[in-house]
Amino acid sequence: MIIRKLSESVQMYAAMDWERRLFDELIPLPEGTTYNSYLIRGTAKTALIDTADPSYTHAWLESLERMGLKSVDYVVANHAEQDHSGSLPALLAKFPACQVISTPKCKEMLIDLLDIPADKFRTVADGDRIELGGKTLKFVHFPWVHWPETMLTFLEEEKILFPCDLFGSHLASGVERAEEDPRWEESERRYYAEIMMPFRKMIGNGLPKVRALAPALIAPSHGPVIGNPGKAIDLYAEWTSDKMKNLAVIAYVSMHESTLLMVRRLESALASRGVQVEVFKMAGGDIGRLAGLLIDAATVVLGTPVVLGGPHPQVAYAAMLANALRPKAKYAAVLSSYGWGGKAAEALLGLMPAFNPEVLGAVIAKGLPREAEYAEIEKLADRIAEKHRGL
């Protein structure tokens, strides 16, 4: 645990999970992560903002005791997911008079997930406030960041925003402010891509609420505290906008180099037409990096050999990832090679109904690509470049 004083009345308790390398058994964590909670002391009452992952419950409670905490009046549950709420039962057992502050939807979910008694809750509407004695907490409903029950908490007198997952980063770091760690912006980008991107429309629509608060400090529940809130808000505004970049991302697997030859030809053809290209090898690749590339891309190209009549499983995963993340890209294409049969292209495109891009073409080679396939790739590059004109 790392304990930091953010002000005379606000303390940060950061459970530093330096070694964790996978989140939700799905998301890569190359830089570890943190589970942050915050203690706010008013002259009359005390409040905690969020708790800690269950794996850190003992260390978290021990840290609170070490800092002389004798009572807790409120614990604010901005988000029901267990990496933030998982220590709630232990906290309520230690401080039975403590009330859980949440949205009505979050109350329902915490009862389901953690079996917390209904009489422990005090639900708040959008814009409600709670006075702690010289300190005022304002609650801002912000659903779909990235669950339906979420809200933000704002300490009005000190202009500190506690947004839970919003503006978070999976980055275990000893710095006092995010800007002091050169890895922060990339970690913030990865976090947005992997977790927030499917909800970019709702998040983008809610950003004016955050700007109106004009926070002086953003204290997320993952990663370091952000001392330059304007930077983080501007990044999110860019990422959640509809503006695409002149970028084509090619995600591929090649078993016997036929698909690789096609990928290389398309890469070269696009570059010669002024299209920026990023090539991502799925086999052994960092899927978080691919998610980050999808934030701004205008075109997604999937390259696959045929395996037992269908696409390679890792390229199918890339298609499913694009479908789940719903990037702003508008266009897609497929490169494929086969030995004796199969319909890999059709299968891949069928895996992306929610993404639903305009398909610019599929180039299929039987065995090695030859001049006919290379000519089709050049035509595909023409179509992509035309679509990217003006981006």
Co-location of 231 and 253 in the same domain: no
pLDDT digits (tens, 9 = 90+) for 4-43: 999 999 999 999 999 988 888 888 899 999 999 999 999 9
pLDDT digits (tens, 9 = 90+) for 134-180: 999 999 999 999 999 999 999 999 999 999 999 999 999 999 999 99
Q: Average of pLDDT values for 118-138?
A: 98
Domain C-terminal end among 178, 207, 240: 240
Co-location of 293 and 147 in the same domain: no
Do the Cβ atoms of 104 and 115 come closer than 8 Å? Answer: no
Strands (DSSP E) along 77-210, which ranges?
99-102, 121-123, 129-131, 136-141, 151-155, 160-162
Q: Is the pLDDT of residue 310 over 90?
A: yes
Residues 6+ apart with CB under 8 A from 239: 189, 192, 197, 200, 295, 296
Co-location of 189 and 285 in the same domain: no
pLDDT digits (tens, 9 = 90+) for 225-237: 999 999 999 999 9
Is the residue at 211 inside a domain?
A: yes
Q: Is 256 exposed, middle or buried (0-12, 13-18, 19+ CB in 10 A)?
A: exposed
Co-location of 23 and 137 in the same domain: yes
Co-location of 235 and 307 in the same domain: no
Question: Tell me, what CATH number does 276's domain have?
Answer: 3.40.50.360
Say what the pLDDT of residue 48 is.
Answer: 98
Domain count, the chain: 2
Co-location of 325 and 361 in the same domain: yes
Q: Which phi and psi (to 5°) does residue 58 adopt?
A: -60, -50
Q: In 10 A of CB 342, how many CB atoms?
A: 19
Do the Cβ atoms of 312 and 258 come closer than 8 Å? Answer: no
Token readout for 223 is 């990663």
pLDDT digits (tens, 9 = 90+) for 87-122: 999 999 999 999 999 999 999 999 999 999 999 999
The boundaries of the domain holding residue 205 are 2-240
Is the residue at 273 inside a domain?
A: yes
The DSSP output letter for 286 is -
Do the Cβ atoms of 338 and 363 come closer than 8 Å? Answer: no
Is the residue at 199 inside a domain?
A: yes
Co-location of 104 and 61 in the same domain: yes
Closest CA to 297 of 355, 251, 247: 247
Do the Cβ atoms of 58 and 86 come closer than 8 Å? Answer: no
Token readout for 347 is 């299968």
Co-location of 77 and 204 in the same domain: yes
Is the residue at 103 inside a domain?
A: yes
Is the residue at 387 inside a domain?
A: no
Is the residue at 160 inside a domain?
A: yes
Question: Tell me, what CATH number does 30's domain have?
Answer: 3.60.15.10
pLDDT digits (tens, 9 = 90+) for 328-345: 999 999 999 999 888 899
Geometric angle at alpha carbon 367, from 365 and 369, rounded to 5°: 50
Co-location of 272 and 325 in the same domain: yes
Say what the pLDDT of residue 341 is.
Answer: 82
Strands (DSSP E) along 174-219, which ranges?
217-218
What's the distance, CA 263 to chain centroid?
A: 29
Co-location of 19 and 147 in the same domain: yes
Say what the pLDDT of residue 25 is.
Answer: 81
Q: Is 174 exposed, middle or buried (0-12, 13-18, 19+ CB in 10 A)?
A: exposed
pLDDT digits (tens, 9 = 90+) for 281-304: 999 999 999 999 999 999 999 999
Say what the pLDDT of residue 24 is.
Answer: 83
Say what the pLDDT of residue 381 is.
Answer: 98
Say what the pLDDT of residue 148 is.
Answer: 97
Domain C-terminal end among 194, 222, 240: 240
Is the residue at 293 inside a domain?
A: yes
Co-location of 24 and 55 in the same domain: yes
Is the residue at 389 inside a domain?
A: no
Domain C-terminal end among 207, 240, 273: 240
Co-location of 183 and 302 in the same domain: no
Say what the pLDDT of residue 347 is.
Answer: 94
Q: Is the pLDDT of residue 385 over 90?
A: yes
